[in-house]
Amino acid sequence: MTVSTFISCSSQLNIFLLNFLHSLRGRFSVINLCRDVETSQVFAAKITPYQAEQRQLVLREYQLLRRLHHPHLVQLYAAFITPLYVLLVEELCPGKELLHSLAAR
């Protein structure tokens, strides 16, 4: 199922035009599978709603991901911040959730 919602922005000299394909609801966020229209690269778009008093707490994840670059950490490609939502366009990590893998140990 393809949702006809697109997001475009200029981030780090890259233009993102995203087509949202599928979504999963988590405890705090909605994760959308999305595809860059130009490159066909697939990403995970994490959309987190927040209230004004939670702004600093929610922005902490964005600030950390923006500074961290390591092959074993999810890569942040773009961020959209509005008064009600933070949308993080991240590297897609397919497979089981980390929590399930850790519980199996």
pLDDT tens digits, 49-79: 888 888 888 888 888 888 988 888 888 888 8
When the pLDDT of each residue in the chain is averaged and rounded to a whole number, the result is 76
To 5 degrees, how large is the angle CA 45–CA 49–CA 54?
A: 125
Task: Locate the domains of the chain by residue range.
Answer: 6-104
> How does pLDDT run across 16-25, given as a tens digit for each residue?
566 666 677 8
Q: Which residue has the tokens 């702004």?
A: 55
Q: Model-level pTM?
A: 0.72
What is the C-alpha separation between 46 and 23, in angstroms, rounded? 9
Superfamily name with CATH number, domain 6-104: Phosphorylase Kinase; domain 1 (3.30.200.20)
Note whether 45 and 34 are within 8 A (CB). Answer: yes
Please tell me the predicted confidence (pLDDT) of residue 94.
79
